[in-house]
Chain A
Amino acid sequence: MVVVSWVLALAAVVSGFGVFRLNSMARVTFSLLVSFLAVAGLVLLLGLDYLSAVIVLMMVIEMVVMAVFMIMYMMNPAGLMPMAMYHNKAGAMTISVGTFVLLAAGILLVDWPERRGAPAPDPTFALGRSLMGEQMLTMMTLGITLFATIVATVVLSTGRGRYDRLGDDLDSATADDPLGGGVGR
Protein backbone atom coordinates (compact mmCIF):
# COMPACT_ATOMS: atom_id res chain seq x y z
CA MET A 1 0.00 0.00 0.00
CA VAL A 2 2.75 2.42 0.97
CA VAL A 3 4.82 1.61 -2.12
CA VAL A 4 1.78 1.89 -4.38
CA SER A 5 0.84 5.26 -2.89
CA TRP A 6 4.39 6.59 -3.43
CA VAL A 7 4.47 5.32 -7.01
CA LEU A 8 1.06 6.83 -7.80
CA ALA A 9 1.92 10.15 -6.14
CA LEU A 10 5.17 10.33 -8.10
CA ALA A 11 3.40 9.36 -11.34
CA ALA A 12 0.77 12.06 -10.79
CA VAL A 13 3.35 14.81 -10.26
CA VAL A 14 5.79 13.70 -12.97
CA SER A 15 3.13 13.30 -15.66
CA GLY A 16 1.61 16.60 -14.53
CA PHE A 17 5.01 18.18 -15.12
CA GLY A 18 5.15 16.48 -18.51
CA VAL A 19 2.05 18.40 -19.60
CA PHE A 20 4.10 21.58 -19.92
CA ARG A 21 7.34 19.93 -21.05
CA LEU A 22 6.31 17.63 -23.92
CA ASN A 23 6.14 18.89 -27.48
CA SER A 24 3.39 16.90 -29.12
CA MET A 25 -0.16 17.81 -28.20
CA ALA A 26 -1.20 14.16 -28.24
CA ARG A 27 1.49 13.35 -25.68
CA VAL A 28 0.50 16.37 -23.60
CA THR A 29 -3.14 15.25 -23.48
CA PHE A 30 -2.24 11.71 -22.50
CA SER A 31 0.26 12.95 -19.94
CA LEU A 32 -2.54 14.92 -18.30
CA LEU A 33 -4.75 11.84 -18.47
CA VAL A 34 -2.06 9.74 -16.73
CA SER A 35 -1.90 12.38 -13.99
CA PHE A 36 -5.68 12.19 -13.50
CA LEU A 37 -5.63 8.38 -13.48
CA ALA A 38 -2.86 8.35 -10.86
CA VAL A 39 -4.92 10.69 -8.67
CA ALA A 40 -7.93 8.41 -9.19
CA GLY A 41 -5.74 5.52 -8.03
CA LEU A 42 -4.77 7.43 -4.90
CA VAL A 43 -8.43 8.24 -4.22
CA LEU A 44 -9.15 4.51 -4.63
CA LEU A 45 -6.40 3.70 -2.12
CA LEU A 46 -8.14 5.98 0.37
CA GLY A 47 -11.28 3.85 0.09
CA LEU A 48 -13.41 6.10 -2.14
CA ASP A 49 -14.05 3.58 -4.92
CA TYR A 50 -17.13 5.28 -6.37
CA LEU A 51 -15.52 8.72 -6.64
CA SER A 52 -12.40 7.12 -8.10
CA ALA A 53 -14.49 5.47 -10.84
CA VAL A 54 -16.25 8.80 -11.50
CA ILE A 55 -12.88 10.55 -11.89
CA VAL A 56 -11.60 7.86 -14.29
CA LEU A 57 -14.73 7.91 -16.48
CA MET A 58 -15.00 11.70 -16.56
CA MET A 59 -11.35 12.34 -17.26
CA VAL A 60 -11.02 9.77 -20.05
CA ILE A 61 -13.93 11.39 -21.89
CA GLU A 62 -12.75 14.89 -21.04
CA MET A 63 -9.27 14.28 -22.41
CA VAL A 64 -10.67 12.84 -25.64
CA VAL A 65 -12.83 15.97 -26.04
CA MET A 66 -9.77 18.04 -25.18
CA ALA A 67 -7.79 16.32 -27.94
CA VAL A 68 -10.43 17.31 -30.50
CA PHE A 69 -10.28 20.95 -29.40
CA MET A 70 -6.48 20.83 -29.38
CA ILE A 71 -6.46 19.88 -33.03
CA MET A 72 -9.00 22.65 -33.74
CA TYR A 73 -7.25 25.50 -31.94
CA MET A 74 -3.56 24.74 -31.49
CA MET A 75 -1.16 26.23 -33.99
CA ASN A 76 1.12 23.22 -33.68
CA PRO A 77 -1.01 20.19 -32.80
CA ALA A 78 1.42 17.45 -33.80
CA GLY A 79 4.53 19.04 -32.32
CA LEU A 80 6.35 18.61 -35.63
CA MET A 81 7.71 22.14 -35.44
CA PRO A 82 9.27 22.66 -32.01
CA MET A 83 8.23 26.11 -30.84
CA ALA A 84 8.02 28.01 -27.58
CA MET A 85 4.51 28.92 -26.50
CA TYR A 86 5.32 30.64 -23.24
CA HIS A 87 5.07 34.16 -21.92
CA ASN A 88 6.60 35.46 -18.71
CA LYS A 89 8.20 32.09 -18.02
CA ALA A 90 10.51 33.31 -15.23
CA GLY A 91 7.74 35.14 -13.38
CA ALA A 92 5.39 32.17 -13.64
CA MET A 93 8.11 29.83 -12.37
CA THR A 94 8.86 32.13 -9.42
CA ILE A 95 5.19 32.38 -8.45
CA SER A 96 4.54 28.63 -8.70
CA VAL A 97 7.70 27.60 -6.85
CA GLY A 98 6.87 30.17 -4.18
CA THR A 99 3.34 28.76 -3.90
CA PHE A 100 4.69 25.23 -3.55
CA VAL A 101 7.21 26.24 -0.88
CA LEU A 102 4.50 28.08 1.05
CA LEU A 103 2.09 25.12 0.84
CA ALA A 104 4.82 22.60 1.72
CA ALA A 105 5.88 24.66 4.72
CA GLY A 106 2.29 24.74 5.90
CA ILE A 107 1.84 21.01 5.33
CA LEU A 108 5.01 20.07 7.24
CA LEU A 109 4.76 22.62 10.05
CA VAL A 110 1.08 22.44 10.97
CA ASP A 111 0.30 20.13 13.86
CA TRP A 112 -2.47 18.14 12.18
CA PRO A 113 -5.27 16.99 14.51
CA GLU A 114 -5.81 13.35 15.38
CA ARG A 115 -8.03 11.22 13.15
CA ARG A 116 -11.56 11.38 14.51
CA GLY A 117 -14.06 8.60 13.84
CA ALA A 118 -13.92 5.83 11.26
CA PRO A 119 -15.16 5.73 7.65
CA ALA A 120 -18.72 4.54 7.16
CA PRO A 121 -18.92 0.84 6.17
CA ASP A 122 -20.07 1.94 2.69
CA PRO A 123 -18.75 5.46 1.97
CA THR A 124 -20.68 5.62 -1.32
CA PHE A 125 -23.97 4.99 0.48
CA ALA A 126 -23.06 7.64 3.04
CA LEU A 127 -22.29 10.10 0.21
CA GLY A 128 -25.63 9.39 -1.45
CA ARG A 129 -27.49 9.82 1.83
CA SER A 130 -25.75 13.09 2.48
CA LEU A 131 -26.28 14.48 -1.06
CA MET A 132 -29.97 13.67 -0.82
CA GLY A 133 -30.13 14.86 2.78
CA GLU A 134 -28.19 17.60 4.54
CA GLN A 135 -26.14 18.45 1.42
CA MET A 136 -29.22 18.82 -0.79
CA LEU A 137 -28.55 22.54 -1.22
CA THR A 138 -25.08 21.73 -2.61
CA MET A 139 -26.59 19.22 -5.01
CA MET A 140 -29.26 21.65 -6.22
CA THR A 141 -26.69 24.43 -6.66
CA LEU A 142 -24.58 22.08 -8.78
CA GLY A 143 -27.60 21.16 -10.85
CA ILE A 144 -28.59 24.78 -11.50
CA THR A 145 -24.98 25.69 -12.31
CA LEU A 146 -24.69 22.85 -14.80
CA PHE A 147 -27.93 23.94 -16.45
CA ALA A 148 -26.68 27.54 -16.65
CA THR A 149 -23.47 26.19 -18.22
CA ILE A 150 -25.43 24.35 -20.89
CA VAL A 151 -27.33 27.54 -21.81
CA ALA A 152 -24.22 29.74 -21.68
CA THR A 153 -22.05 27.42 -23.77
CA VAL A 154 -24.72 27.06 -26.46
CA VAL A 155 -25.22 30.83 -26.60
CA LEU A 156 -21.48 31.50 -26.74
CA SER A 157 -20.61 28.91 -29.34
CA THR A 158 -23.53 29.46 -31.71
CA GLY A 159 -22.36 31.51 -34.68
CA ARG A 160 -25.74 32.38 -36.19
CA GLY A 161 -28.82 31.38 -34.27
CA ARG A 162 -32.49 31.64 -35.19
CA TYR A 163 -32.70 35.21 -33.86
CA ASP A 164 -30.02 36.25 -36.37
CA ARG A 165 -31.89 34.53 -39.18
CA LEU A 166 -35.52 35.38 -38.41
CA GLY A 167 -35.33 38.62 -36.39
CA ASP A 168 -35.81 39.29 -32.70
CA ASP A 169 -39.48 38.26 -32.75
CA LEU A 170 -38.85 35.28 -35.03
CA ASP A 171 -41.52 36.68 -37.37
CA SER A 172 -39.50 37.36 -40.53
CA ALA A 173 -41.10 35.84 -43.61
CA THR A 174 -37.77 34.75 -45.10
CA ALA A 175 -34.63 33.84 -43.25
CA ASP A 176 -31.78 36.34 -43.53
CA ASP A 177 -29.07 33.98 -44.71
CA PRO A 178 -25.81 34.94 -46.43
CA LEU A 179 -26.55 32.33 -49.08
CA GLY A 180 -30.00 31.25 -50.10
CA GLY A 181 -30.71 27.57 -50.16
CA GLY A 182 -33.32 25.07 -51.20
CA VAL A 183 -35.91 25.33 -53.97
CA GLY A 184 -36.57 28.77 -55.51
CA ARG A 185 -33.39 30.46 -54.36
Chain B
Amino acid sequence: MTLELFLLSAAGLFAIGLYGALSQQSIVMLMMGLELMLNGVILAAAAFWYFLAPAGTEGQVLIVVVVTAMAIEMAAGFAVATAIYRARQVDMTDGAADLKG
Protein backbone atom coordinates (compact mmCIF):
# COMPACT_ATOMS: atom_id res chain seq x y z
CA MET B 1 0.00 0.00 0.00
CA THR B 2 1.48 3.29 -1.08
CA LEU B 3 0.22 6.84 -1.03
CA GLU B 4 0.64 7.03 -4.81
CA LEU B 5 -1.68 4.06 -5.48
CA PHE B 6 -4.45 5.61 -3.39
CA LEU B 7 -4.01 9.08 -4.84
CA LEU B 8 -3.92 7.77 -8.42
CA SER B 9 -7.19 5.88 -7.94
CA ALA B 10 -8.67 8.98 -6.33
CA ALA B 11 -7.53 11.07 -9.32
CA GLY B 12 -9.05 8.45 -11.65
CA LEU B 13 -12.39 8.61 -9.87
CA PHE B 14 -12.29 12.42 -9.90
CA ALA B 15 -11.52 12.54 -13.64
CA ILE B 16 -14.24 10.00 -14.53
CA GLY B 17 -16.73 11.96 -12.43
CA LEU B 18 -15.69 15.19 -14.14
CA TYR B 19 -16.22 13.56 -17.53
CA GLY B 20 -19.70 12.48 -16.48
CA ALA B 21 -20.64 15.84 -15.03
CA LEU B 22 -19.54 17.62 -18.21
CA SER B 23 -20.87 15.20 -20.82
CA GLN B 24 -24.18 13.86 -19.49
CA GLN B 25 -27.42 15.46 -20.61
CA SER B 26 -29.64 13.97 -17.94
CA ILE B 27 -29.69 15.89 -14.65
CA VAL B 28 -29.65 12.65 -12.64
CA MET B 29 -26.59 11.33 -14.47
CA LEU B 30 -24.87 14.69 -14.01
CA MET B 31 -25.35 14.36 -10.26
CA MET B 32 -23.86 10.86 -10.40
CA GLY B 33 -20.77 12.43 -11.92
CA LEU B 34 -20.55 14.93 -9.06
CA GLU B 35 -20.93 12.09 -6.54
CA LEU B 36 -18.10 10.19 -8.20
CA MET B 37 -15.84 13.26 -7.96
CA LEU B 38 -16.59 13.54 -4.21
CA ASN B 39 -15.92 9.79 -3.91
CA GLY B 40 -12.40 10.46 -5.14
CA VAL B 41 -12.01 13.28 -2.62
CA ILE B 42 -12.98 10.89 0.22
CA LEU B 43 -10.33 8.40 -0.90
CA ALA B 44 -7.67 11.10 -1.18
CA ALA B 45 -8.51 12.50 2.27
CA ALA B 46 -8.28 9.04 3.87
CA ALA B 47 -4.95 8.39 2.13
CA PHE B 48 -3.49 11.75 3.20
CA TRP B 49 -4.60 11.10 6.78
CA TYR B 50 -3.06 7.64 6.91
CA PHE B 51 0.16 8.20 5.01
CA LEU B 52 1.12 11.76 5.99
CA ALA B 53 -0.51 12.93 9.23
CA PRO B 54 -2.11 10.02 11.13
CA ALA B 55 -1.61 11.70 14.50
CA GLY B 56 -4.18 14.45 13.83
CA THR B 57 -7.88 14.05 13.09
CA GLU B 58 -8.18 16.66 10.33
CA GLY B 59 -8.28 14.01 7.59
CA GLN B 60 -11.16 12.23 9.30
CA VAL B 61 -13.04 15.51 9.82
CA LEU B 62 -12.59 16.26 6.11
CA ILE B 63 -14.21 12.90 5.25
CA VAL B 64 -17.16 13.74 7.51
CA VAL B 65 -17.52 17.10 5.72
CA VAL B 66 -17.37 15.50 2.26
CA VAL B 67 -19.91 12.78 3.16
CA THR B 68 -22.25 15.52 4.41
CA ALA B 69 -21.66 17.50 1.22
CA MET B 70 -22.65 14.42 -0.82
CA ALA B 71 -25.92 14.10 1.07
CA ILE B 72 -26.67 17.82 0.67
CA GLU B 73 -25.80 17.71 -3.03
CA MET B 74 -28.19 14.81 -3.63
CA ALA B 75 -31.05 16.37 -1.68
CA ALA B 76 -30.67 19.85 -3.16
CA GLY B 77 -30.09 18.48 -6.67
CA PHE B 78 -33.23 16.38 -6.63
CA ALA B 79 -35.25 19.27 -5.17
CA VAL B 80 -34.10 21.53 -8.02
CA ALA B 81 -34.82 18.77 -10.55
CA THR B 82 -38.31 18.37 -9.10
CA ALA B 83 -38.95 22.13 -9.17
CA ILE B 84 -37.80 22.61 -12.77
CA TYR B 85 -39.63 19.48 -13.92
CA ARG B 86 -42.82 20.69 -12.30
CA ALA B 87 -42.50 24.15 -13.86
CA ARG B 88 -41.34 23.23 -17.38
CA GLN B 89 -41.16 19.42 -17.79
CA VAL B 90 -37.38 19.77 -18.19
CA ASP B 91 -35.31 16.67 -17.37
CA MET B 92 -32.26 17.46 -19.51
CA THR B 93 -29.62 20.07 -18.82
CA ASP B 94 -29.97 21.41 -22.36
CA GLY B 95 -33.56 22.39 -21.61
CA ALA B 96 -32.43 24.69 -18.80
CA ALA B 97 -29.84 26.83 -20.57
CA ASP B 98 -31.56 30.20 -19.92
CA LEU B 99 -28.59 31.59 -18.01
CA LYS B 100 -26.04 30.56 -20.62
CA GLY B 101 -24.00 33.67 -21.29
State the A residues within 8 Å of B (CB). 1-2, 5-6, 9-10, 12-13, 16-17, 19-20, 28, 32, 35-36, 39, 42-43, 45-48, 51, 54-55, 58, 62, 65-66, 69-70, 73-75, 85-89, 91-93, 95-97, 99-100, 103-104, 107-108, 112-113, 115-120, 123, 126-127, 129-131, 135, 138, 142, 145-146, 149-150, 152-154, 156-157, 159
Contact = CB atoms under 8 A, between A and B. Distances in A.
A152 B80 CA distance: 10
A107 B22 contact: no
B74 A62 contact: yes
B96 interface: no
A73 B27 contact: yes
A12 B43 contact: yes
B29 A16 contact: no
Contact of B63 (A43, A107, A145): A43
Interface of B: 1, 3-9, 11-20, 22-29, 32-33, 35-36, 39, 42-43, 46-47, 49-57, 60-61, 63-65, 67-68, 70-72, 74-76, 78-83, 85-86, 91-94
